[in-house]
Amino acid sequence: GESVGLHLPTLSVQEGDNSIINCAYSNSASDYFIWYKQESGKGPQFIIDIRSNMDKRQGQRVTVLLNKTVKHLSLQIAATQPGDSAVYFCAENKAGPHSSGSARQLTFGSGTQLTVLP
Partner 1 sequence: DAGVIQSPRHEVTEMGQEVTLRCKPISGHNSLFWYRQTMMRGLELLIYFNNNVPIDDSGMPEDRFSAKMPNASFSTLKIQPSEPRDSAVYFCASWEGTNEQFFGPGTRLTVL
Residues lying near partner 1 in the complex (CB under 8 A): 3-6, 34, 36, 42-46, 49, 89, 96-98, 101-111
CB of 88 to partner 1, least distance (A): 12
| Nearest to partner 1 of 28, 100 (CB atom) | 100
Q: Least distance in Å: CB of 118 to partner 1? A: 27
**Are 14 and 117 in contact, with CB atoms under 8 Å apart?**
yes
Instruction: State the Cα–Cα distance between residues 43 and 38, nearest whole angstrom.
Output: 6
Mapped onto helix, strand or coil, the DSSP state of residue 53 is: coil
Q: Cβ closer to partner 1: 3 or 28?
A: 3
Least Cβ distance, residue 19 to partner 1 (angstroms): 21
Nearer to partner 1, 21 or 44 (CB): 44
Closest approach, Cβ 46 to partner 1, in A, equals 4
User: With respect to partner 1, which residue has the nearer C-beta, 13 or 106?
Assistant: 106
Query: Cα separation of 48 and 112, whole Å?
Result: 16
Q: Nearest 5°: CA angle at 28, between 22 and 32? A: 70
Cα(108)–Cα(74) distance, integer angstroms? 14
Size of the chain, expressed as the number of residues it contains: 118
